Amino acid sequence: MISNTIKQLSATLLLLAAAGVTPAATAAAAANTVDYDDESAWLCRPDRDDFCQTDMSTTVVMADGSVTVEPFRPAADASFDCFYVYPTVSRDTTANSDIFPGPGEISVVRAQFARFASVCRPFAPLYRQVTLTALRSRLTGGDMKADRMLGYNDVKAAWEHYLANDNKGRGVVLVGHSQGSGVLTQLIRNEIDGKPVQQQIISAMLIGTRLAVPAGKTVGGDFQHMPLCTSAREAGCVVTFASFRSTVPPPPNSLFGKVPQPGMVAGCTNPAGLSGQAADLHAYLSSEGPGSGAGEQAAWSRGVAVNTPFVSVPGLLSGRCVSDARGSWLEVTVNGDPTDPRTDDISGDVISNGEINAGWGLHLIDVHLVMGDLIRLAQQQAAYWSQSR
C-alpha cells in the first residue's frame, strides 16, 4: 500500500510537467561539487528566460459560478529576493538525483514558486536530492541508501554562492516544501540561526514539514533565535505548517503534525491568519487538479470552461491552526454550497487503492492552498524588514 502511495505521489507531482522542455546541462553533474557559477545549475534566476518564466494566468471562480481571468505580472523591479528549495520530485532511478532538471523539478517550481516572481527576484538551485525511488525503497524495506548530505551540501553551496554574488545586502525570503523544507531547516540551524546573516532573512517559509518548538512557545526547539511568525510586522521569523482536511484529521500514524522530541510540538502558523484566527485561504490550485494520484477534480463551475493553468476560488477554503493530542496542523475546511454552481470540493488527498491515505493529509497541495497568502505575507514582511533597517 505504501509503495502504491509513493508511486501515485510521484505521478501526481509529475503530471504538471512542461511538455517539450529540454533540460539544461551542466558540466558539474557528475562531480563532487556543483558549480553554481554555471547558470544551468539553477532552475530559476532573475532576469533570464527559465523555468520561472511560464504561464501563471488564473481563472477566478466565484461562488455564483462567474469567472474572470487574472493575468500574471512579474515584478519589474523587485526590492527583495526569494530562495526556494523544492520537495521530493525526482524520478531518477538512483538514490540521489542528478543535477539535470527533469519533469518533476520543472513542474513543481512552476506550481510552488514561479508566482513569487510577482513580488521578489526568484532563485531556485538544482540539488542532488533524495529521489522518489530511494524514498519508495526506504518505506518498503529496501536497502537503497541515499546520501542526504549530498543534497544538503549542494543547497549550502548554492546559498553561499547567492550570498557572495547576488544578495548585496538585500532581504531574502526562504521558501521550501517537504524535503526542501527539511534541507532549509538544516541550513538555517547550521548557517543562519543566531549568526549575522540572519539579519538578511525576511522570513523562512518551511511548508509541509515538522518543525519542533516547545509547547506553548514560538522559539527554542529546532531554532534558538528564529521564532514562529505571529504578525506580518515581524522579520526573521518562520511560517510552517502541514495541512489536513477538517474532515480527515491526522491519524495516529500521521507523517506530519507531530515531532518525536519530548516537550515539543510541531509548529503551525497560518499564513492567512498569523494571530491564530480562522481565515479564508487565498489558494492558487491547478486547474486540472494535482493529478491521478489525488483523484479527479470536479468541474470548477457548472457549464463554464476553465482554460488557464491555475484556478482561484475565493471563499471556498478556510483554515486555522489546530493543536490537540493528535498534533498541530493547519485544518482546512472546504465551504462548499450545493445550491451554487461552483464546485463543492477540491482534490488534493493522496489516494491509495481508492481510499484517502489520511497520514499524508493535503501534503500534495500544502503550498497551493495558501499561495496567495504566502505572497502577500512575503510582501508585507519585506516592507517591515526594509522599514526596520
pLDDT digits (tens, 9 = 90+) for 139-186: 778 888 899 999 999 999 999 999 999 999 999 999 999 999 999 999
Share of the chain above pLDDT 70, in %: 91
Query: Residue 293 has what pLDDT?
Result: 62
pLDDT digits 0-9 by tens, 65-105: 999 999 999 999 999 999 999 999 999 999 999 999 999 99
pLDDT digits 0-9 by tens, 318-352: 999 999 999 999 999 999 999 999 999 999 998 88
Strand runs (DSSP E) across 136-277, as ranges? Answer: 172-177, 201-207, 212-214, 237-241, 243-245, 264-266
Residue 101 to residue 90: CA distance in whole angstroms: 9
pLDDT digits 0-9 by tens, 284-329: 999 988 865 677 888 999 988 899 999 999 999 999 999 999 999 9
186's enclosing H/E stretch is helix 179-187
Please give the mean pLDDT across all residues of the chain: 90
pLDDT digits 0-9 by tens, 59-70: 999 999 999 999
Question: pTM of this prediction?
Answer: 0.91
Query: Residue 292 has what pLDDT?
Result: 52
Query: Residue 296 has what pLDDT?
Result: 81
Q: What is the DSSP string of 298-348?
A: PPSBTT----SSEEE-TTTEEEEEEEETTEEEEEEEE---TTSSB-S----
